[in-house]
Amino acid sequence: MNNEQTHMNMHTGKVPQVMNHGGHELFDVHETLAGMINVLDQFMMFRQYIQDEELKQMLDRQYSFILEDYNRIVESFSTGQDPSSPTQTYNMAESNDFVYGLKASQPKKPNQSINDISDKGISGHMLGLLKGHASLVTMTSLEITNPIVRRLFADSVPNWIEMAYEVAHYQNKRHDYQVPQLAAQDVQQMTQSFAKSTQPPELPNNKTLH
């Protein structure tokens, strides 16, 4: 990335790299970084209640990845420079094959005591946190003017999606995240509802105003 670009303020002149942040960016990045801390802290609280080793390993893997991403963003946000470590890509540990269909299960209700905490509930909380933060990171990236910080946020969006997908897949295997499917004829109708544009469109010329 080019760190030698010249940035201007219409009132004060040249803007140093460390000041290359817009107002919306500052507020939104603050909110997003606070959200990342919230995810990390809640993951830490969840860990002591997890019984399933696979879920615990997933939480540990995601916690470490989020923490590294957080440190990377904090570094560039505070310095205006490229981070000292390159961005990483999060990859699921298992396949991504979903099982479709609904299986009868007990109706959900709030826990009555701390003893009701379960892996099913914890994985559900993890999924909610990851989905929510994926949306927040995406919206924040669209408000950032600093090119380095914007790229860090944009690069992180697929990782939050992948982590959420991984938790959903974990739940799906245990029938905790069930995915209904439409009838074959309805799926066919929906997937074939659009067609490619095969001819170059005739775009209108600029209209002359009188």
Render pLDDT for 123-135 as a digit per residue (tens, 0 to 9).
999 999 999 999 9
Paired residues of 7 in beta bridges: 15
Give the closest residue to 135 by CA, choosing from 57, 28, 41: 28
Q: How many C-beta atoms surround the C-beta of residue 142 within 10 A?
A: 11
Arithmetic mean of pLDDT over the chain? 90
Which residues are registered as beta bridge partners of 14? Answer: 8
Contact of 179 with 107, CB cutoff 8 Å: no
Reply yes or no on whether the pLDDT at 20 is more than 90: no
Band (pLDDT 50/70/90 cuts) for residue 205 is: confident
Taking the domains of the chain in order of start, what are their residue ranges?
A: 17-83+98-104+117-190
pLDDT tens by residue, 54-110:
999 999 999 999 999 999 999 999 888 899 999 999 999 888 889 999 998 889 899
Pick the more confident residue, 123 or 203: 123
Rounded to an integer, what distance in angstroms lies between the CA atom of residue 28 and that of residue 73?
13
pLDDT score for 1 = 42
CA–CA distance, 45 with 61 (Å, rounded to integer): 15
Q: Tell which CATH architecture fits domain 17-83+98-104+117-190.
A: Up-down Bundle (1.20)
The token pair that represents 161 in the structure block: 């999606």
State pLDDT tens for residues 177-190: 999 999 999 999 99
Report percent pLDDT > 90 for the chain: 73
Q: Please write the tens of the pLDDT for every residue from 27-57.
A: 999 999 999 999 999 999 999 999 999 999 9
Over pLDDT 70: what percentage of the chain? 88
